[in-house]
Amino acid sequence: MKKADIFEFFRRLAEANPAPETELESVNVYTLLVAVVLSAQATDAGVNRATRALFAEVDTPEKMVALGEAGLKRHIKTIGLFNTKAKNVIALSQALIDQHGGEVPADRAALEALPGVGRKTANVVMNVAFGHETFAVDTHLFRVGNRTGLAPGKTPLAVELKLEKAVPQPFRLHAHHWLILHGRYVCKARTPDCWKCPVADLCRYKPKTPPPKAKAADSIKPA
C-alpha cells in the first residue's frame, strides 16, 4: 500500500472514531495487565464479565496473592484456559511484588519477563497504560494487516514490524486500536462487511462482499 493510501486509511478510521479505547475493563494499570493476560484466546466481553466482581475485590498484586490460585479460579472459571491463566496471574503478581515493588513496569523486556506475558500483552500495556506507540497484533489486527495489504506478514511479529515502519503520525498512538476494532466489527474473519467499510477502496481484498439482501416483507393476508 502506498504511503498516501496508508495516511488516508488511518485518516478515515480516525475520523470515524477519534478516540478509540481498549474494550477490556480495568481500574488501574495492574488490573489492565491482568485483564490482557486473561484475554488470550478469549473475548474481551467474556473477560469483562468474569473480572468485574474480581477487580472490585482485588486491585493490587498483594491482594491477588492473598486471594490465591483457587480463589482466582472461582472468579475466572468461565474464561478459556482458566487453570493456566490463574497460575500465571498469581505468579506474575508475586514477581511484581518481589522485583518491581508491586508496580507494573513500563519496559517491554521487564513485562515479557513476567509469567504469562508475551509481546502482544506487553505492547497493549505499554500503549494503553503508558502511552507508548506500540502495535499489539492480535488475530483481528493480523487479519486486517494481511487482508488489506496494509502490513502483510506471515507472523504477528512480521506484521508488527511492518506497521512500525508504515504507520505515520499523527496516527501511531491509536493505530492498533483502530485496526483491532475494524477487524472485530467490519473486516470480520468469515465474511467481512466490505459494503460498509470506510476504507474499502484502499483495500487490496478483491472479492468485496455486497450488502445483505433485504428480506421480503411478509405478505399480508386479508382478514
Annotation: binding site for [4Fe-4S] cluster:
187, 194, 197, 203
Q: Active site residue: 120, 162, 213, 218, which one?
A: 120
Instruction: Tally Cβ neighbours within 10 Å of residue 216.
Output: 6
Binding annotation:
187, 194, 197, 203
Instruction: Tally Cβ neighbours within 10 Å of residue 152.
Output: 14
Q: Is 208 labeled as catalytic in the residue annotation?
A: no
* Cis-peptide, bond into residue 170, ω within 30° of zero: yes
Q: Active site residue: 73, 85, 138, 162, which one?
A: 138
Packed helices 175-185 and 139-148: angle between N→C axes, nearest 10 degrees:
90
Q: Is 215 labeled as catalytic in the residue annotation?
A: no
**Cell matching residue 69:** 490460585
**Cell matching residue 156:** 504477528
In terms of Cα–Cα distance, which of 122, 116, 142, 146 is closest to 134?
122
Catalytic residues: 120, 138
